[in-house]
Amino acid sequence: MTTRKIQSACAVLLLVAAIYSCDSLIPEAPAESDLLDGPTEGLSTSEQSRFLKGDIAFNDEVFTPESGLGPVFVANSCGSCHAGDGKGHPFTTLTRFGQTQPNIAPDVSIGGPQLQNRAIPGFEPETIPNGVPSMDFTPPAVTGLGFLEALTDPQILDNADPNDSDGDGISGVPNYINPPSYFIPKPFHQPVGGQYIGRFGKKAAAIDLLHQTVGAYNQDMGVTSTFNPIDPHTGLSTDPEVSDQIIRDVVFYLQTLKAPIQRDADDPEVIRGKEVFMSINCSSCHVPSFTTPQSDIDALSNKTIFPYSDLLLHDMGPGLDDGATEGSAETFEWRTPPLWGLGLAPESQGGEFFLMHDGRAKSIQEAIELHGGEAQQSRDEFVALSDADKQALLKFLRSL
């Protein structure tokens, strides 16, 4: 065999080896339970296609002044606030103001209900008038929201106890919200005086995911739509800057993002931690599970989910009273945040914890210790736990 033939054979072998080893060269995928993003199981191919469109609109579409950003805004894309669909970072914390009493509409004449603290070049951002109370909201994780939206009003009201009739010190009330004009109630919605139960947001001010999404486009990005054509800078109507289809794609994406998956559920310390969680009555508000009813989306139907939330408002004490509010909530009332995905928060918050509604808590323990009001008793019992039980509880929470 000539040298040239040997050289050629070696070159061909090298190429073949390189191509056939392709898959072994690709980085391994993280475990599914370590990721918040991804579709829920059981979507049809057409639903997966819709999910993909929504995924692109949510995570990849960046608004510029030319495509409708602002002129005043908080963030320029959905993904800016919800990296990896997880909890947000103080970088994109948003500020609400203008309403200081329940059921009194926010004063839009002073710029409410939301502060647009950024502006495109050549424009000035909003400022809050002196002396006006405000509240900061760190963006929440957006996974599993479709399951929460699928729950019926009676399921939520089952955990409500406005007058604390059972005497456990925990009340729990819904935030009743005036619906936007485009809201179409489902059969399970139960209006009271024309208002509907809010489920999403720190104060539960959004009734469903369309309400939440339209509000985010408008108030967070300054992007108008046919659903809400009012430009937050001028207060005047303008042409839609995002299409109905894109908004509906994003809503479908949010509806069909998977629920966070617990990790290390069989770890004895995690099991012990859950027992402690139940024993000190954290579960009175952070209700562990629900089962969804039949939904328009089959993949969301009849599923037992573990959000660790009752979606109701609770008095959290004066330490968490920011003096501002939304809907029928008191200024000291906050919706119980779902705890699912809590352990993965640092994966989307730049390696740190920024917990509570405004990110003021830098650890889970600090967040627990900031609980007051109806949660004061559970907080005090946590502080009094043995170190072993305390660590077990924290490990359980990190497993969620």
Partner 1 sequence: MKKLIITLFIGLLAQQLIAQVDQSLLKDDRSDSLENGMNMDALSNRVYATSSSPVSIGGYLEADYKYIGEDGLTDGHTFRIPRVTLFITSSISSRIKFMSEFEFEEGGEEIAIEFAAMDVNFHPLLNLRGGVVVNPIGAFNQNHDGPKWEFVDRPIAMTQMLPATWSNVGFGLYGKMYQQDWAFGYEAYLTNGFDNSITTNTENRTFLPASKNNKERFEESSNGEPLFTGKIAVRNQNIGELGLSYMGGIYNTHEDDGLILDEPRRLDVFAVDFNTELPFSDTYIIGEWAWVFVDVPNTFTQQYGEKQSGGFLDIVQPVIDKSMFGFDDAVFNVALRLESVDWNVGTFNETGGNIGDEIWAVVPGISFRPTYQTVFRLNYRYQEQTDILGNPPAKTSGIEIGFATYF
Q: Which stretch binds partner 1 (CB under 8 A): 25-33, 199-207, 313-321, 382-390?
A: 25-33
CB-count exposure of residue 240 (10 Å: 0-12, 13-18, 19+): middle
CB-count exposure of residue 194 (10 Å: 0-12, 13-18, 19+): exposed
Of 89 and 211, which has the nearer Cβ to partner 1? Answer: 89
Of 64 and 101, which has the nearer Cβ to partner 1? Answer: 64
Q: Cβ of residue 362: shortest distance to partner 1, in angstroms?
A: 10
Binding residues among 79-98 for partner 1 as defined by CB under 8 A: 80, 83-84, 89-91, 93
Q: Is 110 in the site for partner 1 (CB under 8 A)?
A: no
Q: Is 26 in the site for partner 1 (CB under 8 A)?
A: yes
Q: How many residues bind partner 1 (CB under 8 A)?
A: 48
Q: Cβ of residue 398: shortest distance to partner 1, in angstroms?
A: 16
Binding residues among 30-49 for partner 1 as defined by CB under 8 A: 30
Q: Is 1 in the site for partner 1 (CB under 8 A)?
A: no
Of 305 and 345, which has the nearer Cβ to partner 1? Answer: 345
Q: Which stretch binds partner 1 (CB under 8 A): 15-23, 246-254, 259-267, 331-339?
A: 15-23
Binding residues among 348-367 for partner 1 as defined by CB under 8 A: 348-352
Q: Is 78 in the site for partner 1 (CB under 8 A)?
A: no
Q: Is 124 in the site for partner 1 (CB under 8 A)?
A: yes
Interface residue list for partner 1 (CB under 8 A)? 4, 7-8, 11, 14-15, 18-19, 21-22, 25-30, 61-62, 64-67, 69, 73, 75-77, 80, 83-84, 89-91, 93, 118-125, 347-352
